[in-house]
Amino acid sequence: MTRTRVGIINVTGYIGVDLARILFRHPQVEVACVTGRSAAGSRLAGVFPHLNAADMVISPELDVPVDVVFSAMPHKASAEACEPLVAEGLRVIDVSADFRLKSRDEYESWYGVQHPCPHLLASAVYGLPEIHRNDIRNARLVANPGCYPTGALLALAPALAAGAVEGDIIIDSKSGVSGAGRSLTLNTHFAECNESVSAYAVEGHRHMPEIRQECRLLSDKVTELLFLPHLIPMSRGILSSCYAKASASWLGGCSRPRAALLDMYREFYKDSPFVRVVDLPPATKHVWGSNYCHVYPTFDERTGRLLVISAIDNLVRGGAGEAVQNMNLMLGFDETCGLEALPVFP
């Protein structure tokens, strides 16, 4: 069997290197090239000793033929890197934010840069498989979702699709520190974020418009979002607690809202191997190191609100694993191929 040849652009960030970890063990692909600017010429295991047993040299550029490319560049640079690859006819999965927002204006306003190739926005597919599985199968360019949007949307999609919520939605998310990337900041210095929790991006986080775009695609009853991310002293994981008013129409037709919710969620995800609807509140540790998402929907009688909690590993399900899931769909592999690893607990 010939393996599909893949390349990873910018392997030296956390999503990039987790792509390497997963793809090195993927039975259908061969990692033909990994690139990194500052580390070019070094061995990957020199930069990341955990890859000692699957080492290769970091290239300055994609310099060998490949069939599929993952770009883990920062935004803007990523679109610039992807454009010629798409033009060449390669399959491209971009883990940056560049092709997630359909509105060029919204992109430029939230990211503060001009979009390098807005003509690709229409054909790029938002790579959340549980919502856009068929489009992903036929895509040339997939925009891998942000980590927070993955958790929030998997929590909310069934209820939105059923018209079960209305009004504004509050999403209170708690993320491990790896979500902030590998750049050095005081906020991610161990001594400062250990034994502490804080909110950030209180005035508006870039993942908000992305969540809002997809929510509105699923339901026109959603007005606005208040999304508040928090930094938690752990390396990996996002827990999202989502609060949304039950719609009058849905609630009117329900005698037992909690049970109805559970059924609605199980039905929605019945063909989605990585989303597990659970009947006890999830912990991020239940999905650590895996591509699984645990979703717990419930109903608060006192306030008439749906409360849905989801747990993901932000670097796998919210990043590298999701990107490989997208690749599997694009290439006709089994959706779970190379992603079967169960979460590591404790």
Least distance from a copy of itself to the Cβ atom of residue 36, Å? 14
Q: Judged by CB under 8 A, does residue 334 bind a copy of itself?
A: no
Q: Which one of 108-116, 140-148, 218-226, 248-256 is the stretch in contact with a copy of itself (CB under 8 A)? A: 218-226
**Closest to a copy of itself by CB, 21 or 91:** 21
Q: Is 41 in the site for a copy of itself (CB under 8 A)?
A: no
Tokens of 62: 């994609």
Pairing assessment for the beta strands 293-300 and 305-312 based on DSSP bridges? antiparallel
- Grouping H, G, I as helix, E, B as strand and the rest as coil, residue 328 is helix
337 makes contact with a copy of itself (CB under 8 A)? no
Distance CA 237, CA 151 (A): 10
Of 57-65, 97-105, 149-157, 182-190, the window that binds a copy of itself (rule: CB under 8 A) is 182-190
Nearest to a copy of itself of 116, 273 (CB atom)? 273
Residues in region 65-84 near a copy of itself by CB under 8 A: none
Q: Is residue 193 annotated as a catalytic residue, yes or no?
A: no
Q: Which is nearer to a copy of itself, 114 or 303 (CB)?
A: 303
Q: Exactly one of 43, 102, 216, 230 binds a copy of itself (CB under 8 A); which one?
A: 230
Q: How far apart are CA 41 and CA 34, in angstroms?
A: 11
Sorted by sequence, the CB contacts under 8 Å of residue 341 that are 6+ apart come out as: 289, 290, 291
Min dist CB 198 to a copy of itself, Å, is 4
Q: State the nearest-atom distance from the C-beta of 69 to a copy of itself, in Å.
A: 21
Strand, helix or coil for residue 203: coil
Distances (CA, A) of 14 to 28, 159, 276, 344: 23, 32, 25, 18
What per-residue string of b and e applies to 173-183 under the rule 16 or more CB within 10 Å gives b? Answer: bbbbbbbbeee
Q: Is 148 helix (H, G, I), strand (E, B) or coil?
A: helix
Cis peptide preceding 343, ω within 30 of 0? no
Q: Measured from the CB of residue 70, what is the shortest distance to a copy of itself in angstroms?
A: 17
Catalytic residue among 33, 82, 147, 242: 147
Member of 6, 16, 36, 48 binding a copy of itself (CB under 8 A): 48
- 256-315 residues in contact with a copy of itself (CB under 8 A) are 273, 276, 278, 280-290, 292, 294, 296, 298, 300, 302-303, 305, 307, 309, 311
Least gap, CB of 5 to a copy of itself (angstroms): 20
Contacts of residues 190-196 at CB distance under 8 Å and 24 or more positions apart, as own/partner, are 193/231, 193/233, 194/233, 195/233, 196/231, 196/233
**70 and 328 in contact (C-beta within 8 Å)?**
no
Residue of 29, 232, 264, 330 that binds a copy of itself (CB under 8 A): 232
Q: Does 170 bind a copy of itself (CB under 8 A)?
A: yes
Shortest approach of a copy of itself to residue 82 CB, angstroms?
Answer: 26
- Point out the residues that are catalytic: 147
